[in-house]
Amino acid sequence: CKELLPQGHFIQGELQETGLPDGHFDYIRIDNALEHVPNPKKVIMECRRLLCAGGKLMIYVPHGRSLSMRLMKGNSISAWIPFHLQLFTKKSLYRLMKDAGFTDIKICGYNPTSWLPLSFMQWMNRKKPVSKYEHPAWLNVVCYPVGWIGAKLGLGKELVATGTSCVK
């Protein structure tokens, strides 16, 4: 990081151990990390503490009720067993943010273009370990409309949630 952004300030470690003051940030983004922590509520509460009043939190997580999870179960890329400690639904993610004191919560789903083809390849190779996540280009063409329809039906592979930190 220092090579790419020499003037940047970087902290490595647990969020709760940074020593940053209350209201330090206007915006926090958690991108495909919340599903890896044992206590997501603790992380969300810390984000709320670190946000100024009116600050925004944006969360990206795999959707536990996505089309691929419903059809492929543990072979979906979203499952990623044993690295994902939990998966979220719109309802559980909303409740998590609401319980942490966020307001103006919005949640939508979408499909990263490579995820459905990767899930398909993992599902097809479920009897043997997949060491490379390469797939034929035609699979993108086939999966794109399926992913688009899935997202429109609320079954996208990823959930994106935003919320506003209320006045403390």
End-to-end CA distance of the chain: 33
Task: Name every residue whose Cβ is closer than 8 Å to that of residue 90 and which is 6 or more positions away in sequence.
Answer: 63, 65, 107, 109, 154, 159
pLDDT tens series, the chain, 168 aa: 889 999 988 888 888 888 899 999 999 999 999 999 999 999 999 999 999 999 999 999 999 998 888 888 887 878 887 888 999 999 999 999 999 999 999 999 888 777 788 788 777 776 665 555 667 788 888 888 888 888 888 888 899 999 999 865
Model confidence, pTM: 0.83
Which residues make beta-bridge pairs with 107?
161
Closest-CA residue to 158 (of 111, 95, 118): 111
Torsion from C-alpha of 70, 75, 81, 87, nearest 10 degrees = -20
